[in-house]
Structure 1
Amino acid sequence: MMLGTVQLGVLAACIVLFVPMAMAGWHLSRNKMLFFSGALFISLAVGVHLSPYFLSITDFISSSSSSSSPSSFDSGNDRDFCLPLLHEIYFHIEQVRSINGTLYYLKSWGWPLSGAVSGCGFQKLGRSHASDFLNGSWVVVAGDSQARLVALALLNLILDSERMDAVRGDLFKRHSNYQIVVSDIGMKLDFIWAPFVSNLTDLMVEIKHYPSYPDVLVMGSGLWHMLHVHDASDYGVSMKHLKGSVMSLLPMSPELGDDGVVSGSASFRSPPFFWLGMPMLVDSMLNTEEKRERMNGAAFFAYEAKLRQSKILRESGGPLLLLDIHSLSRDCGRRCTEDGMHYDAVVYNAAIQIMLNALLIESHQNL
């Protein structure tokens, strides 16, 4: 700024010196030339002295506008602004014909590059960055087949293709638990087969007696209950019991109300626990008559209403952040599922990246 002021002063001096000389060459009267020279000198002198203040004001306005942008996660306001936007993604599906004439689809996804979402700076973490971030972590994924696909997506991000070939067979043993330790980054992952909400409640009671809690917990249930019990009211009661078990794991805080809802100024934050939402069900594509009869859109919305009424989700004051598989699967559409219930890897890959970005926001780390 000092250098610019000096240069401006030199320019003013040149104008004051040479303009009157030029005017004298045009045979103006001496009084007119002196008047013009004086007025010009005074105007330029005032401008030179005031210019640093105008520059300072400009810098202040610029810095103020940049500090209000939600491009970093250093403040609670930015965090609360960006978390609800994590699911604002788009899917791109392109039909491609192979050499032998077979048609298939290339599927990809991303966050918009413009609008409010772009200001949050969400990024897809690659293997190296995801491994660094999850280094030394204990991750627990519990639930039904949807949770198993989420566990697969996370391991697929962390492990190379050779190790993934060995993982798939063991992870997808029917109705079984699975555990793996990724020794090079010290990450431990437990998949717990828990198809009913009551199984998740039992798991919370078990975790409460552990010497330490998981660093990341992802759980979800509903499809099995919808198929085998088909009673939304019973599901709602189970969800309220689960909420109580989850709340018992949380650190005590003076901001917790009697019903466990966080109140007041929000300095208290729940641990990074996630609820895995149910996918969009395409009942015409389901593979049995019983599924087509019981797992339809009306049943989904009845179960979804009970989930919301339980107030277990963070958006209603509860402890769990939602991984909204329903919105992701709906946006990807029918071309992303073969059985109307389980979706292609692109959907669960997006869910994992949403989870990782949420963890970065919660931990106040920039991407």
Structure 2
Amino acid sequence: MGVLPFSHRCKNLRRIAEDDGGSGSREMIGAVQLGLLAACVVLFVPLVMAGWHLSRNKILFFSGALFITLAVGVHLMPYLSPPEDLIPRKIAAPFPDSSCIRSLHRVEFADAWRRDECSEIRCTKKSWNWIDSDDEVLRCEFQKLTKSDASDLLNGSWIVLAGDSQARLVALSLLNLVLGSNQVEAIREDLFKRHSDYSIMANEIGLKLDFIWAPYAANLSDYTSKLNHQDVNSSPDVIAMGAGLWDMLHINNATEYAISLKLLRDSLISLSTSRSLHHLFWIGMPKLINAKLTTPEKKRMMTAGMWDLYQNQVAGTKILKQSGGPLLNLDIHLLSSLCGEDGTVDGIHYDDSVYDAAVHVMMNALLIQSNQKPRRRSR
């Protein structure tokens, strides 16, 4: 698995060594005590038997049988489970993942943009952060990871982002974090080639990132089905995927969408079971601003009511972790709603800060799933 801890490596190794040493000491003390007990039994039982005025032959027989039994028991003892393993031990409580996972999206956005700096699709001057006054956020110590931290966390990993333009924008934000804006500017044109896949290898940290153009839910189920038939050693470490906007616009059949989601769910469950792949994320659909949609067809098909209908299929198919499924939700709808209508030009694609926040939600989720905490920094 490529997702590695970065702040506790030495501490973890040191704790493992101390635990091993303590276990060895306990085993040594137990062996000495057992030997002394066996010696006492061999010495005193025959004396007690002699006190019963038994014949010498009977005493010798019982003594010999007792000695052989104890000798065999002592030699077999290392291969048997020690009694202390049957006693529950108090262990350190893990990082509280369930409550912290639920708090990952407690963020706020600041209106720090100017309309004259908006691009054709998105504005670029919003900022975001976790809500500092939220007690749960403070307890979980969520952090915006630096380039160095993100590189350590994802060192040697293979990450796949699959879906429509929302997944492509998440891929862009992730590359911005890991590579830096200068390198990303050099590859932006290739990454945003219309309706195409993209792959990059960051050799300095051994990170492979694939973007798979899969705008329909059926495309996602086809992709995961192919992964299930590949070699078990050639599976991604992290998969983030999402679809729904194209299904809504071009097919507009929520029932068919649900069928594709069920196939996707079953394929992902099989994949996570056979490959021990547990870092799976769902890139949700954004809030749609109907008045800003750029074509009459979009305004007719992509209504708030239709969004609700499609989102109900996501919930109903139980594909998300919150309902027992395999995918942890990156709630783009919530993040885009918090960003506000002024954060989108076309009613679908939002300010960079929305996708930056989604990436940091995903990164902190990886830390939680890896039972790690980032180094504490001032924000």
Q: Quick check: TM above 0.5?
A: yes
Please report how far the alpha carbon of residue 166 of structure 1 lies from its aligned counterpart in structure 2 after TM superposition.
Answer: 1.6
Show the counterpart of 2:205. 185
Match of 1:337 among 325, 336, 344: 344
Match of 1:359 among 360, 366, 370: 366
Structure 1 unaligned regions, length at least 5: 1-73, 99-103, 254-268
Which amino acid is 2:289 matched to? V
| Equivalence for 1:113 | 132
Report the secondary structure of 2:346's partner residue: coil
Aligned-residue sequence identity (percent) comes to 49
Note the 1:1-367 alignment, pairs <5 A.
Answer: 75-76=93-94, 78-94=96-112, 106-114=125-133, 115-208=135-228, 209-210=230-231, 211-251=233-273, 271-367=278-374
CA contact (8 A) 2:155 2:206 kept: yes
Once residues 230 and 148 of structure 1 are traced to their aligned partners in structure 2, the CA distance between those partners, rounded to angstroms, is 22
CA contact (8 A) 1:93 1:105 kept: no
1:212 shift after superposition: 2.6
Secondary structure at 1:141 match in 2: strand
Is the CA contact (8 Å cut-off) linking 2:155 and 2:207 kept in structure 1?
yes
Secondary structure in structure 1 of the residue aligned to 2:271: coil
Q: Are the counterparts in 1 of residues 104 and 361 from structure 2 also a CA contact under 8 Å?
A: yes
CA distance in 2, matches of 1:223, 1:205: 22
Answer yes or no: is the 8 Å Cα contact 1:137–1:215 preserved in 2.
yes
Deviation readout 1:210-268 (Å, 9 max, x if unpaired): 33321110000000000001111111111111111111112269xxxxxxxxxxxxxxx
Deviations 1:262-320 (A, max 9, x none): xxxxxxx9611000100000011000000000001001000000000000100011111
* Residues 1:252 and 1:190: Cα distance change in structure 2 (over 3 Å): closer
Aligned residues: 274
Per-residue CA deviation, residues 330-362 of structure 1 (Å, 9 max, x unaligned), is 010111111000011100000000000000000
Q: CA deviation at 1:75?
A: 3.8
Once residues 96 and 163 of structure 1 are traced to their aligned partners in structure 2, the CA distance between those partners, rounded to angstroms, is 25
Cα separation, 2, equivalents of 1:229 and 1:94: 38
Q: Structure 1 residues 163, 241: CA separation in 2 closer, same or farther (over 3 Å shift)?
A: same
d(CA) in 2 for partners of 1:290 and 1:155?
33
Task: Check the 8 A contact 1:111/1:118 in 2, yes or no.
Answer: no
5+ residue gaps, structure 2: 1-91, 117-122, 375-379
Residues 158-201 of structure 1: per-residue CA shift (max 9 Å, x gap):
11333112210000000000000001100000000001111111
Report 1 or 2 for greater relative contact order, CA contacts < 8 Å, sequence distance ≥ 6: 2
Aligned counterparts of 2:93 and 2:311: Cα–Cα separation in 1: 32
Runs (4+) of structure 1 exceeding 6 A deviation are none
Match of 1:59 in 2: none
Distance (whole Å) between structure 2 residues aligned to residue 192 and residue 77 of structure 1: 33
User: Does the 8 Å contact 2:164/2:242 carry over to 1?
Assistant: yes
TM-score by length of 2: 0.69
Deviates more, 1:244-253 or 1:108-117: 244-253
**2:95, 2:368 within 8 Å by CA — same for their partners in 1?**
no
Question: Partners in 2 of 1:229 and 1:111 — Cα distance?
Answer: 37
Displacement of 1:96: 5.6
**Amino acid paired to 1:345:** D
